Amino acid sequence: KSRKWPLPTYLMVMFSILKKTAAKCPHISQTYSIGRSVEGKDLLVIEFSDNPGQHDLLEPEIKLIGNMHGNEVLGRQLLIYLAQYLCSEYLLGNERIQTIINTTRIHILPSMNPDGYEIAASEGHEYNGWTSDRANAQNLDLNRNFPDLISIFYNRRRFRHFRSDHIPIFESYWINKVEVVAPETYAVMKWIRSNPFIISASLHGGELVISYPFDLSRRPQEERMYSPTPDEQSFRQLARTYADAHPTMSNNDTERWWYGDIY
């Protein structure tokens, strides 16, 4: 029988682990909050770098997000374990990990939806369906709460001087004329604006698949239309590299496909 803890305990355990990890490796890591959830819980990030808290010119920055859906726990756990692994292996002299941390700034947000997670965790897996506690406390699916910039990209790419590397978010989105912007979504968007991330990934649960942009078609009525981004080849290489390193996905008897959701 699963153990039922008081709701705040789940968040406290995660915070404790992340802060203890940062304290164990203070010369290469720190924790910081990018904002708060609907119910006021910190969205806590742990960062790894040879110069934590500071962007170094030309040093690539990446972000990893877990638990966007409250009841998808695997990404959250994997990112917590990754933070502990990076710290311990760096201290043990693992040259590969030391090189990664000394040349890259890594930001890890284990739980983007702590409100949904705590409800799902308190119910236990016996009572939790795939849609139960998936959304945040406003009943918004955070994975579908970000603005649609894909249609803007396709509409404007025909212009001679259109830049595909920076598409501003339309003002109506910010002032809630289009839809409700969840505080968790808003926090992540401000986070992206504040840091020059070159790539990021969101870890979900439920299906064995690697997805990357674009996940919307150039023509909405043609869902199966091939609609690549300018970085299609890079995304495909990243997806294949991950799949080939994954024990199950690299098995020739496993069906594999690549599409839509690395942000």
Helices (H), the chain: 7-24, 74-91, 95-103, 114-123, 150-156, 171-174, 183-194, 232-245
**Structural domain contains residue 106:** yes
In the predicted model, is pLDDT for residue 3 greater than 50? no
- Could you give the CA distance from residue 125 to residue 84 in angstroms, rounded to a whole number? 25
Q: Is residue 257 part of a domain?
A: no
Query: Considering the entire predicted model, what is its pTM?
Result: 0.87
Q: Give the residue, 109 or 133, on which the prediction is more confident.
A: 109
Q: What's the angle, vertex CA 258, arms to CA 70 and CA 242, rounded to 5?
A: 80
Domains in the chain: how many in total? 1
Classify residue 117: in a domain, yes or no.
Answer: yes
Beta bridge partners of 109: 65
Residue 165 located in a structural domain: yes
Range of the structural domain that residue 154 is part of: 7-245
CATH number at residue 39: 3.40.630.10
- The tens digit of pLDDT for each residue in 181-227 reads 899 999 999 999 899 999 999 999 877 888 888 877 777 667 677 88
Binning pLDDT at 50, 70 and 90, where does residue 12 land? confident
| 58 occurs within a structural domain | yes
pLDDT tens figures, 220-258 = 667 677 888 888 999 999 999 988 898 888 887 766 554
| Secondary structure letter of residue 126 according to DSSP | G
